[in-house]
């Protein structure tokens, strides 16, 4: 898409809402690059990933049949360093989504100043219906299929939606077999005994917690007693509910893929954490549930979408009650909704900043793997805290100074570094 097409899309987005993740990402990257004074050539370079590999993988299922799965690996831009980003297993994965997600990874790495560009992978599958054996064979097949373009100094995968440390362990083992030497630095989010880092599992939620705290400070809101709604009870959502509860906030709402729970007196978070399954499902145990859509519009002080994309749109942005929205998921708010929330004076902390805690500790994991010396959880958390507070302040200050929303400010900071690196390398 050229610059004129971007403008056309922008106009179109104003009329009918752009829910296409790639298109909306391109619109904001274009705006960020022009505000930074970069040429349209730079936009041409950064509007899509440099590499996109599509693979088809035959996998033996438990009933003896063969199923052919489709997977992707996108590498957005490697001017700053090797590309980095998770692999999601989900029935709705598609090529454009993986491309957009790889671009967000570049932005995240830029915002928290990691020596990486962005990458992302995905496999179209539903792990909720697969056995451990099938998941293992699929994970190994994926590594064999993408092995030529990945590696500890090329592109480093990690967990994402519906993938976990066990899947990372199989992938690391497969990669080490292929290379014939132990390669813990090939992938992050591993179990501790295989070179994982202390604090990695909780890192995304830690980062979101830091952003919530900083955002609350800006709004003069006391975290103790604040009413919090967390949409999604996966890795980020469940740990976040726990941290908010521990910080003295009142978690009044949570949800999973099947429904939501709301209680204005506060939910029993310890009980819910205890009863959730490994895919984050818990609401099926209750009768008095509401829908995910209804949950977003309930009374609260802090709303955290921590599930999937396009949850806050032009249709419901007017009905959001929270003065602070912190995006723990990737792409939960459309551009039009971003504008509506901002115009209503709601402080929106964008995904590329709020969810950057995961990749930050992934970077720490990779550094520890490379040096073979491991840190304590306190050391990891202390380093994460410094990085995220600095990143929040940089983005918030820029948004204030330029009177722009925090999403555009975050894109400006995130895009600047890869644009400068591409320029120094003589690519543009
Ligand atoms: N999947 C996570 C994200 O979207 C983490 C990526 C990583 O640790 O490399 O940020």
Q: 220: domain CATH number?
A: 3.40.50.720
Which CATH number does the domain housing residue 131 bear? Answer: 3.40.50.10860
Regarding whether 232 and 125 lie in a shared domain, the answer is no
Same domain, 154 and 82: yes
Specify the pLDDT at position 274.
Answer: 96
Can you tell me which residue has the tokens 């009933």? 63
Ligand 1 centroid, distance to 103 Cα (angstroms): 12
Is the domain of 168 the same as that of 208? no
C-alpha to C-alpha distance for 84 and 119, rounded to whole angstroms: 5
- Report the C-alpha gap between 376 and 194 in whole angstroms: 16
Q: Which of 306, 326, 354 is the last residue of a domain?
A: 354
Looking at the structure, do residues 225 and 312 belong to the same domain, yes or no? yes
For residue 359 and ligand 1, the question of a CB distance below 6 A is answered with: yes
> Is 265 domain-assigned?
yes
Give a yes or no: residue 415 inside a domain. no
Residues 10-31 have a mean pLDDT of 77
pLDDT category of residue 16 using cuts at 50, 70 and 90: low
Per-residue pLDDT of 331-344, as tens digits, reads 999 999 999 999 99
Could you tell me if 244 and 344 lie in one domain?
yes
- Closest to 384 (Cα-Cα) out of 134, 208, 152: 208
190 Cα to the center of ligand 1, angstroms: 13
Q: Is the pLDDT of residue 272 over 50?
A: yes
Whole-number Å distance, alpha carbon 114 to ligand 1 midpoint, is 12
Element (H, E) at 379: helix 377-402
Beta bridge partners of 57: 69
Same domain membership, residue 208 and residue 178: no
Q: What is the pLDDT of residue 19?
A: 75
For residue 27, CA distances in Å to 4, 33, 315, 348 come to 11, 10, 20, 18
Average pLDDT, the chain: 95
1, part of any domain: no
Examine residue 424 and state whether it is found in any structural domain, yes or no.
Answer: no
**Percent of the chain at pLDDT exceeding 90:** 95
Q: Which two tokens stand for residue 91?
A: 């029935």
Question: Which atom belonging to ligand 1 lies closest to the Cα atom of 200?
Answer: 8
Query: Is 407 within a domain?
Result: no
Q: What is the predicted pLDDT for the residue at 18?
A: 64
Mean per-residue pLDDT, 389-415: 98
Q: Which domain holds residue 287?
A: 203-354
CA of 86 to the centre of ligand 1 (A): 5
122 lies in the same domain as 221: no
Domain stops at, among 314, 336, 354: 354
Same structural domain, 349 and 208: yes
Identify whether residues 144 and 237 lie together within a single domain: no
Residue at 31 is within a domain:
no
- Whether 135 and 222 map to the same domain: the answer is no
Substitution site in 74, 158, 309 for ligand 1 pocket (most atoms within 8 Å of beta carbon): 158
Q: Please tell me whether residues 238 and 302 are part of one structural domain.
A: yes
Catalytic residue (one of 120, 242, 250, 339): 120
Is 120 a residue of the active site?
yes
Q: Say whether both 229 and 171 belong to one domain.
A: no
Kindly report, residue by residue over 101-137, the tens digit of the pLDDT. 999 999 999 999 999 999 999 999 999 999 999 999 9
């Amino acid at each position: 898409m050229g610059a004129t097409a971007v403008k056309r899309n922008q106009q179109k987005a104003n009329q009918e809402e752009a829910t296409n993740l790639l298109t909306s990402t391109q619109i904001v990257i274009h705006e960020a690059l022009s505000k930074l004074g970069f040429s349209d050539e730079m936009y041409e370079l950064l509007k899509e990933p440099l590499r996109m590999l599509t693979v088809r993988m035959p996998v033996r299922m438990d009933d003896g049949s063969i199923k052919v799965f489709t997977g992707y690996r996108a590498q957005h831009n490697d001017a700053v360093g090797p590309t980095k980003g998770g692999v999601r297993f989900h029935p709705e994965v598609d090529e454009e989504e993986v491309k957009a997600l790889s671009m967000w990874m570049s932005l995240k790495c830029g915002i928290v100043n990691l020596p990486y560009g962005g990458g992302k992978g995905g496999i179209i599958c539903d792990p909720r219906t697969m056995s451990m054996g099938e998941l293992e064979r699929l994970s190994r097949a994926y590594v064999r299929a993408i092995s030529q373009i990945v590696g500890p100094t090329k592109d480093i995968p990690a967990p994402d939606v519906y993938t976990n440390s066990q899947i990372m362990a199989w992938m690391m083992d497969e990669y080490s077999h292929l290379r014939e030497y132990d390669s813990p630095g090939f992938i992050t989010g591993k179990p501790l005994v295989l070179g994982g880092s202390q604090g990695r599992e909780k890192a995304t939620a830690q980062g979101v917690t830091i952003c919530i705290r900083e955002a609350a400070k800006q709004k003069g809101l006391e975290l103790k007693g604040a009413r919090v709604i967390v949409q999604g009870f996966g890795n980020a959502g469940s740990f976040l509910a726990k941290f908010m509860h521990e910080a003295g906030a009142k978690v009044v709402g949570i949800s999973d893929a099947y429904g939501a729970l709301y209680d204005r007196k506060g939910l029993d978070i310890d009980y819910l954490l205890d009863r959730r399954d490994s895919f984050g499902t818990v609401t099926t145990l209750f009768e008095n549930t509401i829908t995910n859509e209804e949950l977003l519009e309930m009374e609260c002080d802090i709303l955290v979408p921590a599930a999937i994309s396009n949850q806050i749109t032009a249709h419901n942005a007017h009905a959001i009650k929270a003065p602070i929205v912190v995006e723990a998921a990737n792409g939960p708010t459309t551009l039009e909704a971003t504008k509506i929330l901002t115009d209503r004076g709601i402080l929106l902390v964008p995904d590329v900043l709020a969810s950057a805690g995961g990749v930050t500790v992934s970077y720490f994991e990779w550094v520890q793997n490379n040096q073979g010396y491991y840190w304590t959880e306190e050391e990891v958390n202390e380093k994460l805290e410094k990085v995220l507070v600095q990143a929040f302040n940089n983005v918030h200050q820029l948004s204030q100074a330029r009177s722009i929303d925090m999403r555009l400010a975050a894109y400006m900071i995130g895009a600047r570094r890869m644009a400068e690196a591409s320029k120094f390398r003589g690519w543009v």
